[in-house]
Chain A
Amino acid sequence: MTPPPSVQEADLHALVDGELSAERRRDVEDHLSRHPEDAALVEGWRRQNAALRAAFEPVARETPPLSLRNAAVRNAAPGAAPIETGAIHWGRPSGPSRSVRRLDEARESRRKRAFLSTAAALLVGAALAAATVLAFTRPPTPSGAATPVISAQSYVDRADISYRTYAPDARPVDFDADHLAELAAAQWRRVGFACAPDLSGVGLRLLGGRVAPGLKGPAGFLLYETQDSARVGLYFERAEPEKAARVAPRVDQSLTAVEWRGAGMAFVLIGPLGADAMQESAERAAGEILAPPPGEAKRR
């Protein structure tokens, strides 16, 4: 009887990865029982596998972000239809015949005159409306401080407006900390996302939240308070994933904003704390929001 081929390092890997036939596996396991140093190698690789899985398994349990839902089918829709049916080709509607065109021209000139007078009336109305809008959006000048002209073009700007609007208020939130379930329901309904990360680890107590005007739609806005009664806001709105800078510009002399994207949303943490404290709080919030649901092991 020929002895079985000697066990080589590749066989040890194959054992760990389930690539051996039953018979070969017995040979290798037999070898391991006689060579503890190889058994230690195998054990080490199994521990590596476990460490890798522990580090990344939570990602697989997350709900994929909105940008990835139906990503495959979404791309199929535009291109697929004409090839699939093959029967009907919807071309552009052809132009009218000549005689019809004459009639159209006559109608056109009449329409044009009517249109011009309507347009004039509309323009005047629009100018009035624009003037009103401008008058209302210029923020009231706080005593002593310069008035920043806030042209809301970024999520940080919107977060800034929300912060300035709500944070100084004695009753800054619609749903306080005793009504987080209702807050979550409102946010899911209006914003498409809800979160209320626990930031007590960095000294921030959740006061509650509300729905606030965002850049392109409703945004969520949570307010936290430090021991010194400084308030920090967490703003979030649905957004395209994008490499946004994590360390943020100071919005003005007194506020720092940290922006990040994740789970199909843009988040902005904004408040009067120092840059380091804000950064740490933002990382904590980001970790909480993207972490697996409570009850499962958290690994950070």
Chain B
Amino acid sequence: MSQKGDLFQKIEAATPALRRYARALCCGAGSAAADELVQAAIEQAAAKVRAREPSDGAAARHCAYRALTALAREKCAGLAATASPRQPAVVHALADLPYEERASLLLVALEGFSYEAAARIADTSREAFVARLMRARAALSLLDLRPSAPSDGARRAGGHLRVVK
């Protein structure tokens, strides 16, 4: 029983980070929507804890992120139009990414998960996950740093590298 209490606490402790991840997934579209997602994700993770699925604090945390990623997929999919103009450029670029790529980038760059853990959270294989991450970063470089050079879109520096799909 005390182990469950510990796991609940671990999920609680992840709340600020979950809120950050949710807000970023929704591209800053507003704290209310993001917080609703976090609440639903926490409830699902708590249900898993009660069903004795996660074995330790890290697994409990992953449950919460997994639930949040799945829930946000429906909610945040079509958000590009609603990112307010007062958001920084990177948020707009984020909003233009397909959902899976956005989530992959955020799990690694913002939340600091390893590729292995992030792939499990995103419910996919490590190879597929890394491919999404690479596409996300490529798209972000095009959108952010070189908006006025469309010809660069077809080419990436380092042509001698083999791009692993």
Query: A-side interface residues toward B, CB under 8 Å?
Result: 6-10, 13-14, 17, 19, 35, 37-38, 40-41, 44-45, 48-49, 51-57, 59-62, 64-65, 67-68, 70-73, 75-76, 79-80, 84, 241-244, 260-263, 283, 290, 299-300
Contacts and interface: CB of A to CB of B under 8 A. Distances in A.
B88 A13 contact: no
A61 B17 CA distance: 9
Nearest to A85: B1
Contacts of A241: 32, 35-36, 39
Given A44-B141, A72-B11, A243-B32, A62 B42 contact: no
B111 to A, nearest CB: 10
B157 A262 contact: no
Interface string B80-107: 0000001111110010000000000110
Interface of B: 1, 4-5, 8, 11-12, 15-17, 19-20, 23-24, 28, 30-33, 35-36, 38-39, 42-43, 45-47, 49-50, 86-91, 94, 105-106, 108-110, 114-115, 130, 133-134, 137, 140-141, 144-145, 156-158, 161-164
Nearest to B141: A44
A73 to B, nearest CB: 5
A48 B86 contact: no
A13 B133 contact: yes
A37 B24 contact: no
Given A59-B16, A84-B1, A241-B39, 18 more contacts: A9-B162, A9-B164, A13-B134, A41-B141, A41-B158, A48-B140, A48-B141, A51-B89, A52-B106, A56-B23, A57-B20, A60-B20, A73-B12, A73-B46, A75-B46, A76-B4, A244-B32, A260-B32
A181 B94 CA distance: 40
A289 to B, nearest CB: 10
A38 B5 CA distance: 48
16 contacts: A9-B163, A10-B130, A38-B158, A41-B157, A44-B141, A44-B145, A51-B89, A52-B94, A60-B17, A61-B16, A62-B19, A71-B42, A72-B42, A241-B39, A244-B32, A299-B88
Contacts of B157: 37-38, 40-41
Contact of A48 (B4, B30, B45, B109): B109
Contacts of B4: 76, 80
Nearest to B44: A75
Contacts of A35: 158
Q: Which 5 A-B pairs have the closest CB atoms?
A: A37-B157, A60-B20, A51-B90, A59-B20, A72-B46
